[in-house]
Structure 1
């Protein structure tokens, strides 16, 4: 169920250090179904995992067909697990029978997580898919190559079940090379918080998702995953993401920016990353000039250039978007707005002798677009 170390990105493992400092970690998985013109985005989070704090607990959110939304909280942090050295996590709510479940799976709750971490990770964690289906009434488990779960939104009664395998194609970097930290070298230190890592820029998913009784079966559907973590929270951010383009099956884009804490000050940063035909095109503050003009909602424009390449992209939507919850200083709150049905145009150019040559033009109507945080009283223009 795991992928090789060479193709795994930095920061794939769980970051919590076991202390009682304010902390969150969040994961995002997505599958796009071109034939249905729909997307399923799964968002998982854990806050203050030591327990006993005002915001301690986890949650699972899904943005489904036509930007519909369901959410389920999992307040018991002891039923959350995550691997330290690889991508793997899960959170359980109800099980079929506690006594039977404990006997058949070997799950034992330690009296103290910090003192029993090795035992906890050894005796819990990933269940065989059949065992998960049999024993877990609500919850999820996910790795780099497998994703499974079932949740019900108690407020609306809406529910979803899912089970699919994942074949990673692009992580974050050139194929057959060491993979990179999305935020660069300093993301290994808690200087820049929160941290952000694209785990899989592009992959193929095969399996099924059930949404309120409707079952979607798929084979080799475009898939994506990323994560963020830390003890501080961004003030304001934007995000553009797509790996389902018209007539371009081997293309994946992730771009975004935000205001984040750096020691005792705040900085505004943005980046664009593109995987195309086996090559990674990276536009980040330390190798490129990146600029942006982001409306509070409806239009996302970005440009970047370095010595070799230039890129321009524009995302738009006439849809209202869906409010989503995100970890904040005050716990999980509605803090951002998303659509998975955005329009996107993209152009990549190579710079040669003072001129530029177009390498790629691409379009999509299944682009993920997001704005989050505050204030969004007017367009956000880069300095």
Structure 2
């Protein structure tokens, strides 16, 4: 148990037979073209044994095309000691993926290597991106930013076209537990125009025994330094919505973050996520978002990061516009 807590990247379901899910999210972005794909391998263990299965969700961001590919439960394999999972003939780890998909009118083959991986800095007390919440055994849903940034080497043959992703960006995260949050917001980008930056932000409803609250974690890597705005470090956050855009501001003692995520409703796809013992299309995501990010240092009165990012991921679920009603600073 302690090994799983200290290394949230690895598989947590070895002793689970039902009422459990786990999935890893791999987003890859081409270095020059607006080509973005996402692969989500995982496993869903239902209270009804016949409904349990493994899966790979495939997102084509440029065409806003989504497929949910199902496999037998036995097709899922995972290492007990490191981040290493496979679904049928598809292999996924922190440093590479091997894709062999040929079904539902999708044919994707190839190998990608990931290097210069930047992980979320953690400690013994606060392991992973969720921190000490990883030590609590009753959480509805756990999350982990496995790699906030990294570079790609290799190519994929996608429906007969060889696409070289070398020099592009990769982002990796995961979720596991009993069900997805009933309401949440997620924003991510690491393909900035003029700087080496990366940002990820999650805000969600967190049920606890006898109560609930809105929790959030925001991580930014800029100029080789990592900045955190989280519930744990007592940051303050405000979220507003404009016409097809989300405006997020986060404050802590020494920094201010201002982020605008711009999207078009027509580009959203409905991803599957666990809810009430089913995998259902409750997560609306686009990979064609645009982020405008300003990170400001209060002490030095200097701007740390002021840049924009294309091919950003933006995702909403549930009553997401009501999340911050009682949490604005």
When normalised by structure 2's length, the TM-score is 0.89
Q: Do residues 27 (structure 1) and 51 (structure 2) align?
A: no
Distance change (3 Å), C-alpha of 1:13 and 1:229: same
CA distance in 2 between partners of 1:166 and 1:41 (Å): 14
Unpaired segments of 5 or more residues in structure 1? 93-138
- Give the 5 Å matches for 1:1-383: 10-48=7-45, 53-64=49-60, 65-74=62-71, 76-92=72-88, 139-154=89-104, 157-173=105-121, 180-248=127-195, 250-293=196-239, 295=241, 298-320=244-266, 321-352=268-299, 356-372=301-317, 374-375=318-319, 380-383=323-326
**Structure that is richer in strand per residue:** 2
TM-superposed CA distance for 1:54, in Å, is 4.5
**RMSD of the alignment, in Å?**
2.5
- Work out whether residues 91 and 141 of structure 1, in 8 Å CA contact, stay in contact via their aligned partners in 2: yes
Q: Secondary structure at the match of 1:44?
A: strand
Larger mean Cα displacement after TM superposition, 22-31 or 144-153: 144-153
CA distance in 2 between partners of 1:209 and 1:43 (Å): 16
Question: What's the CA shift string for 1:13-69, capped at 9, x where partnerless?
Answer: 1101413341100100011113111211111120118x9624311110111133222
Unpaired segments of 5 or more residues in structure 2? none
CA distance in 2 between partners of 1:38 and 1:382 (Å): 36
- Work out whether residues 293 and 379 of structure 1, in 8 Å CA contact, stay in contact via their aligned partners in 2: no
- Work out whether residues 71 and 152 of structure 1, in 8 Å CA contact, stay in contact via their aligned partners in 2: no
Distance change (3 Å), C-alpha of 1:285 and 1:329: same
Larger mean Cα displacement after TM superposition, 296-305 or 332-341: 296-305
Q: Secondary structure at the match of 1:185?
A: helix
Q: Secondary structure at the match of 1:78?
A: helix
Aligned residues: 320
Question: What's the CA shift string for 1:136-171, capped at 9, x where partnerless?
Answer: xxx4111111101222343xx233223111114211
Distance change (3 Å), C-alpha of 1:14 and 1:168: farther
CA distance in 2 between partners of 1:232 and 1:342 (Å): 26
When normalised by structure 1's length, the TM-score is 0.77
Q: Secondary structure at the match of 1:220?
A: coil
Q: Which has the larger radius of gyration?
A: 1
Larger mean Cα displacement after TM superposition, 52-61 or 341-350: 52-61
